[in-house]
C-alpha cells in the first residue's frame, strides 16, 4: 500500500493520468476499471488532453465501470452511462463494444450481475482499477456492512450516500435507493488499484481506510489486503492521517531505494 499526498486536486489527477497512460503504453489492450462521481473528473479531463495532444490511444482498451443506479435509463442525465459518455468516452477513441457499465434497467439483475462478472473474467481481469471513496468509506456502492468478499450485485444505498449524491439531483427524493455495483471481492481482484480522494469531507473515511482496522464498516479498508494499491490524496483528504510524516518520508527516500 502506497500513500502519496499532493498539494492539489489537479496534481493528484495528473499523477493518476500518468499512471493510466503508462499502463496503456505498456499494454495497449489493457482493461481499465472506471469510477464515476466528482473525484475522477480531473483524471478524465487529463486523459482527454493526453489523447488529443499526445495521441494517447484508447482504440484497444476495454473498460468496466464500477456501478450504476437502478432504475435510471442510459439517457438519464444522472445515470453513470451518461456521465461516462459525457466526461470521457465521447472525447477519446474508445470502441463502443469495449465499454461495459452495469445496467440499471435490466429485467433480471441476478443474471446480469453473473454475466458482468463473467465478462470481466473473459477479458482477462482488470489491469488497473480507479476508485473514489464515499464519505462513509464505501468503494463503488459497497456501503458499510457489505461483505468484503462480495461480488457484483444489487446494493441498497445508505442515507448518507443519498444525501451526498443529492447535489446532482433536484432533491434527495430523486436519488435512487438501489444500485448495481461490483463487489469488494471483485475490486480486490484488479491487478493494480488507485484510490483518489480530495477534500476535507473525505478525511475521516480516508483515515479509516488506510489506518483503521479492516472492516466492512469502511469497505475501502479492504484495500489493505490488496498488494498493489496507491492512495492519491490532496492535503485536505489526508488531514486525519496519523502517519503523514512517514508517508512523506517514504516518498522522499524513494529515489535511493535499493
Ligand atoms: P465523489 O463520490 O467522487 O462524488 O465524492 C465518491 C464515491 O461516492 O465513491
pLDDT of residue 1: 94
pLDDT band (50, 70, 90) for residue 253: very high
pTM of the model: 0.97
Taking 90 as the threshold, does the pLDDT of residue 257 lie above it?
Answer: no
pLDDT of residue 255: 87
- The pLDDT assigned to 194 comes to 98
Distance from residue 251's CA to the centre of ligand 1 (Å)? 26
State which H helix or E strand residue 147 sits in.
none
Residue 128 neighbours by CB under 8 Å, 6+ apart? 19, 20, 23, 30, 31, 32, 33, 190, 191, 192, 193, 194
Pocket test residue of 9, 16, 35, 37 for ligand 1, highest count of atoms within 8 A of CB: 37
Give the pLDDT confidence of 204-242 residue by residue, as tens digits: 999 999 999 999 999 999 999 999 999 999 999 999 999
Q: What's residue 188's pLDDT?
A: 98
Say if residues 84 and 65 touch (Cβ distance below 8 Å). yes
pLDDT tens, residue by residue, 116-150: 999 999 999 999 999 999 999 999 999 999 999 99
pLDDT category of residue 95 using cuts at 50, 70 and 90: very high
Interval between CA 138 and ligand 1 midpoint (Å): 9
pLDDT in tens, 11-24: 999 999 999 999 99
Residue count of the chain: 258
Q: What is the pLDDT of residues 44-54, one digit of tens each?
A: 999 999 999 99
Chain position carrying cell 490532496: 234
Burial class of residue 121 (count of CB atoms within 10 Å of its CB; 0-12, 13-18, 19+): exposed
Examine the residue annotation and report whether 127 is marked as an active-site residue of this protein: no
Q: What is the pLDDT of residue 208?
A: 98
d(CA 132, CA 130): 7
Find out whether the beta carbon of 38 lies less than 6 Å from any atom of ligand 1. yes
Mean pLDDT over 183-207 rounds to 98
For a ligand 1 pocket test, name from 164, 169, 181, 198 the mutation site with the most ligand atoms within 8 angstroms of its C-beta. 164
**Range ranked top by mean pLDDT from 68-72, 168-172, 252-256:** 68-72
Give the distance (Å) from ligand 1 centre to CA of residue 37. 5
Amino acid at each position: 500500500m502506497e500513500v502519496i499526498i499532493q498539494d492539489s486536486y489537479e496534481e493528484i489527477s495528473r499523477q493518476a493520468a500518468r499512471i493510466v497512460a503508462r499502463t496503456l503504453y505498456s499494454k495497449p489492450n489493457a482493461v481499465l476499471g472506471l469510477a464515476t462521481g466528482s473525484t475522477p473528473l480531473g483524471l478524465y479531463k487529463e486523459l482527454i488532453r493526453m489523447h488529443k495532444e499526445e495521441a494517447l490511444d484508447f482504440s484497444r482498451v476495454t473498460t468496466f465501470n464500477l456501478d450504476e443506479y437502478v432504475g435510471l435509463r442510459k439517457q438519464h442525465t444522472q445515470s453513470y452511462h451518461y456521465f461516462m459518455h459525457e466526461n470521457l468516452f465521447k472525447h477519446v477513441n474508445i470502441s463502443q463494444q469495449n465499454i461495459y457499465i452495469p445496467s440499471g434497467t435490466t429485467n433480471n439483475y441476478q443474471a446480469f450481475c453473473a454475466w458482468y462478472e463473467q465478462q470481466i473474467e473473459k477479458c482477462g481481469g482488470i489491469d488497473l482499477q480507479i476508485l473514489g471513496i464515499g464519505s462513509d468509506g464505501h468503494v463503488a456502492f459497497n456501503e458499510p456492512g457489505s461483505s468484503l468478499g462480495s461480488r457484483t450485485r444489487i446494493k441498497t444505498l445508505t442515507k448518507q450516500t443519498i444525501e451526498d449524491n443529492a447535489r446532482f439531483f433536484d432533491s434527495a427524493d430523486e436519488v435512487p435507493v438501489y444500485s448495481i455495483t461490483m463487489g469488494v471481492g471483485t475490486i480486490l481482484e484488479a491487478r493494480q488499484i488507485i484510490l483518489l480522494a480530495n477534500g476535507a469531507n473525505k478525511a475521516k473515511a480516508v483515515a479509516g481506510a488506510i489506518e483503521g482496522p479492516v472492516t466492512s464498516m469502511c469497505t475501502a479498508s479492504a484495500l489493505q489486503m490488496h498488494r498493489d494499491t496507491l492512495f492519491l490524496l490532496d492535503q485536505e483528504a489526508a488531514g486525519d492521517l496519523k502517519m503523514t510524516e512517514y508517508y512523506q518520508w517514504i516518498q522522499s527516500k524513494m529515489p535511493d531505494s535499493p
